[in-house]
Amino acid sequence: PVQTPWRRALPGAVVAMLVWFAGSVVLRIWLVFAFRKTATYGPLSAPVAVLLFLYLTALAILFGAELNAEIDRSWPRPETAKLRELEGQREPEPLAP
């Protein structure tokens, strides 16, 4: 792995933050709408809401990381391009039986 400057990770971080914020707002609106009238399901909805929020958070982070990976693949830094070239020249290791 090559350490990159923080500015190279900024586009993915911004996308992750926007996806997370928008998803949080939509999740909140949906939860208020879905569980407004039924008092029975109120306590049961808390674990579901937490799991949905954690899923949304993980998805936002993955979207941001994927964007950063695609940017690095399309416009690699010289250090990254050099290491990829060296990696391509190595012979693959045989699989153990």
Give the Cβ contact number of residue 32 at 10 Å: 9
pTM, two decimals, is 0.76
pLDDT score at 17? 97
The Cα angle at residue 48 between residues 67 and 42, in degrees rounded to 5? 140
Q: What pLDDT tens digit does each residue of the chain (97 aa) get?
A: 678 888 988 999 999 999 999 999 999 998 888 777 766 666 777 788 899 999 999 999 999 999 999 998 888 888 888 887 887 777 767 777 6
Integer Cα distance of 21 and 52 in angstroms: 14
Report the SS3 class of residue 90.
coil
Q: Identify residue 81 by its one-letter amino acid code.
A: A
